Amino acid sequence: MTTTTTRDTALPLAVEEFVRRIETAEWEGMEDHLIADAVYDASVPGWHYQYAGAGRVVQEYREEWSGKYRWTIVERHVVATGDDVVLAIEMHGRPIHDAPPAVCRLANVFRLDDGRIAEHRYFCCGEWDPETVRHIADHAPKVEASRS
């Protein structure tokens, strides 16, 4: 089994399109990168929900991933094994309505079928406001990674 975990790891096209659209908020045509009966399974703080069908999944992408913020991905870790991709990202959000900026850390697990997204499981730590980010920076234990 080959795994890769660097920022520069090439993602399968369908997953790369998902990542690109997180930052552009342009979801038109994303259905082409999902199978017809694709499943979206989201676990967010205090809630869990699921949708099925490419059109409904893309509607949720549009609403969930672009409804409150314009995101910039600042950290990306990829593990790709055959038809499965794990994508861990940290995003910084600029509000598009009356809300504070946000930081979000999450894991996305994709199962592909013939290069298209068949299943997308999403685990979110929540949208952290600036006060939460400061609290974490001041109090959370940290490990400095060595760069060899």
The domain defined by 13-137 carries CATH number 3.10.450.50: yes
For the chain, what are the domain ranges? 13-137
- Give percent of the chain above pLDDT 90: 84
Q: In the prediction, which pLDDT does 147 show?
A: 60
Higher-confidence residue: 148 or 54? 54
SS (H, E, C) 70-117: EEEEEEEEEEEECCEEEEEEEEEEEECCCCCCEEEEEEEEEEEECCEE
Predicted structure pTM score: 0.88
Q: In the prediction, which pLDDT does 148 show?
A: 57
